[in-house]
Amino acid sequence: MDILFWLNVVQLGSDAEIIKQNITLSSFNIVYNGHSLFHYFAENVEVMDLLNDKFMMAFNQGKLKDSERNAPLTLLHPNPDGKTALDIAMEEHRPRCLEVMIELLSCYPKYMLSKMMLPVVPHMIDNATGTVLNFYSSAIFKPSLMEIPMNIPWPDDTD
């Protein structure tokens, strides 16, 4: 089934309407010959927006299956050339595609993703959009002790 899916993608091209009709959330997990949907469409703003909308709608409505929950993390998977989908979008000067991918990654605040994004970090900082700022605001690692509010006595002058 996965090979048929990829054959359709290659034959039908990157028309967003055709992609919309043929892609399910389970398609996000498919990696064929080292390429995910994100690698294949990293330069196509219309398709990237469509993939983002489809995932975010299911995410916000709580309708993601366990197998679909981490699907956007495949955009950090390097292809056979060692490039992630983020790298491809940056190299091809597709800032909106890069922004869409970062928006998808902001759904994972408890994951340490910055290490896997090092090549694109300077570009992200140069083009600090609201999406990039939201990603970094949510991507701050908090040790478990800092997640619980604690009252720490402050020494006063009488001690």
d(Cα 12, Cα 79) in Å, to the nearest integer? 22
Lowest mean pLDDT among 27-31, 65-69, 104-108: 27-31
Beta bridge partners of 35: 32
**Cβ 110 vs Cβ 67: under 8 Å:** no
d(Cα 154, Cα 31) in Å, to the nearest integer? 54
pLDDT of res. 1: 41
**Range 146-156 average pLDDT:** 72
d(Cα 2, Cα 28) in Å, to the nearest integer? 11
**Range 8-26 average pLDDT:** 67
**Range 12-31 average pLDDT:** 70
